[in-house]
Structure 1
């Protein structure tokens, strides 16, 4: 059956301008970090992507190594584009990244021009695209000159392989210097992708100020602290939860009774606001307009529906913010 997007898809989603640019992003974006790879059920991933777009989520975030196996999330997303979303390509923001290990040999990771250009070429082939909307350097490279890495980002824009470029996991100082270089090249940095949540506030210690000063937007990953800031663990760690699973990579850090006690108090506050805990946590990172978009992961369509519902109540009173700070202490 041919997919037709919901005609009302733009009615309820909020769109925020990314820094000092012409681009607006949905307040909630969908990341394909997990649950969209070759080991996952393709039709479930397809259903999630379609549901996200029907809810006005126009931004889909990938990276070369997403899977597993690496590359398979891009391949699967390429199939979804071809079969479902091709008529809507100009309504979509598709991003990918390079920086982490992807292939053998000296050119398969980090920040050289050789690696970044080659990786993006591979990503475009996997997704069946002529260009991505945003191409990120996924992590700083301590050995490659920053000028070379930024020149590679500038190059792929000039080649028409990316419309905008971004940074991920860069410190405030690295971000400021990268921004200076990119402005000099004529391809300003559009966006920064850091981790951020109620329980992980490192970007408040300098990075957000740099982004404001440089006119760079932000899209934050792990806004739900890998599932801690949901109702998943309110009754402890269940046998079917991520925390009980075999993957160290996916295991949320710091789950203990003290943390769960704080989560239960946050859940009570969310209920008073008429929200689920996950919705309040997303609203919290978006509060005040300093974050452009919150990047969510999902394993089923209902989680995307919950996340999209967060935009209906993004305001906090001073008392509510104070209570959150007191709970997390």
Structure 2
């Protein structure tokens, strides 16, 4: 059966500009980091991707190494683009990145011109596209001149391989430098993609969020649920399929501190008083800041998607709720560093 997107799909989603650019993103975007790899079959992948688009989620975020195995998320999404999303290409924002380890040898990671341009070409091939809408430098490379990394991004724009460029996981000082270099090349940096959640506030601690607000760079948060810790599942013990019980190198259930679980319990009570699930409140908390364009969700099931979308129903916080949230997380924060995730 040929897929036809739902009528009225733009009626309930909210959209925000990416910094000072003309590009708008849905305030909830779908990331394909760890749930759309080689173990995911086409029918179940499209069930979630189609449901997301039907709900007004137009932005699908990828990277060269997303899977597992690396590259498989782009390949799977490329199949969806070819088979079901093709008529809607101009309604979609497709993003990808390069910078983390992708292939063997000295050119398969970091921020060299060699890596970024080769990786972009490979991503386009896997996706079956002539261009992506946004291409990011996935992490700051201390061993490569930032002029080279940003110059490669500018070249990708000039070549028509991406419409916009951004950075991810860049600390405050390097964010300012990257913005200045791109501006000198006539290419705006429209987005910064950091990890950010109630339990992980490094962009506040090192003033990256303030720099982005000052410079007109939009922000899109990944891991707004702290790799699922803010789902509350690790408090209940219902962790079937959870990332912390898999081979996920970024989170192990046994390593979650008791103080963090205690904080999550307190946060769940605050969410309940707001008439929200904990994931809904966690997403709303990230989106409360004016610098934040969107929050990236990662889902395993359609039920998770629909629960996350419920955040749209209550995005406002009373001052006393913010005070209570801060008090609940005093001793439960996860490691706070741009390169932690």
- For the aligned pair, the TM-score class normalised by the smaller chain equals over 0.9
Which runs of structure 2 are paired with 1:45-124 in the superposition (5 Å)? 45-124=45-124
Query: In 1, distance between residues paired with 2:204 and 2:250?
Result: 25
Query: Does the residue aligned with 1:274 lie in a helix, a strand or coil?
Result: coil
How much has 1:34 moved relative to structure 2?
1.0
Relative distance call for 1:150 and 1:285 in structure 2 (3 A) is same
- Aligned partner of 1:263 in structure 2 is 264
How much has 1:232 moved relative to structure 2?
1.5
Which runs of structure 2 are paired with 1:58-207 in the superposition (5 Å)? 58-205=58-205, 206-207=207-208
- Aligned partner of 1:248 in structure 2 is 249
- Aligned partner of 2:214 in structure 1 is 213
Any conservation in 1 of the 2:77–2:127 contact (CA below 8 Å)? yes
How much has 1:246 moved relative to structure 2?
4.1
- In structure 1, stretches of 5+ residues that fail to align are none
Any conservation in 1 of the 2:228–2:242 contact (CA below 8 Å)? no
- Aligned partner of 1:33 in structure 2 is 33
1:151-205 per-residue CA deviation (whole Å, 9 max, x = no partner) reads: 1000000110000000001110000001000000000101000000000011112
Any conservation in 1 of the 2:245–2:253 contact (CA below 8 Å)? no
- Aligned partner of 2:337 in structure 1 is none
- In structure 2, stretches of 5+ residues that fail to align are 331-341
Query: Does the residue aligned with 1:95 lie in a helix, a strand or coil?
Result: strand
How much has 1:125 moved relative to structure 2?
0.7
Query: Does the residue aligned with 2:67 lie in a helix, a strand or coil?
Result: coil
1:118-151 per-residue CA deviation (whole Å, 9 max, x = no partner) reads: 1101110111101000000001111111101111
Which runs of structure 2 are paired with 1:3-22 in the superposition (5 Å)? 3-22=3-22
Query: In 1, distance between residues paired with 2:237 and 2:328?
Result: 18
Query: Does the residue aligned with 1:288 lie in a helix, a strand or coil?
Result: coil
Query: In 2, distance between residues paired with 1:256 and 1:142?
Result: 31
Query: Does the residue aligned with 1:228 lie in a helix, a strand or coil?
Result: helix
TM-score where L is the length of structure 1: 0.96
Which runs of structure 2 are paired with 1:218-233 in the superposition (5 Å)? 218-233=219-234
Query: Does the residue aligned with 2:288 lie in a helix, a strand or coil?
Result: helix
Query: In 1, distance between residues paired with 2:276 and 2:320?
Result: 17
TM-score where L is the length of structure 2: 0.93
Query: In 1, distance between residues paired with 2:268 and 2:236?
Result: 12
- Aligned partner of 1:24 in structure 2 is 24
How much has 1:106 moved relative to structure 2?
2.0
> Quick check: 1:279 aligned with 2:280?
yes
How much has 1:302 moved relative to structure 2?
1.4
How much has 1:240 moved relative to structure 2?
4.8
Any conservation in 1 of the 2:199–2:226 contact (CA below 8 Å)? yes
- Aligned partner of 1:328 in structure 2 is 329
Aligned pair count reads 329
Any conservation in 2 of the 1:236–1:260 contact (CA below 8 Å)? no
How much has 1:115 moved relative to structure 2?
1.2
- Aligned partner of 2:335 in structure 1 is none
Any conservation in 1 of the 2:9–2:56 contact (CA below 8 Å)? yes
Relative distance call for 1:295 and 1:238 in structure 2 (3 A) is closer
- Aligned partner of 1:292 in structure 2 is 293
1:73-93 per-residue CA deviation (whole Å, 9 max, x = no partner) reads: 101000000111111111100
Any conservation in 2 of the 1:237–1:244 contact (CA below 8 Å)? no
How much has 1:237 moved relative to structure 2?
6.1
Q: Report the RMSD for the aligned CA atoms in angstroms.
A: 1.4
Query: Does the residue aligned with 2:85 lie in a helix, a strand or coil?
Result: helix
Relative distance call for 1:124 and 1:68 in structure 2 (3 A) is same
How much has 1:68 moved relative to structure 2?
1.2
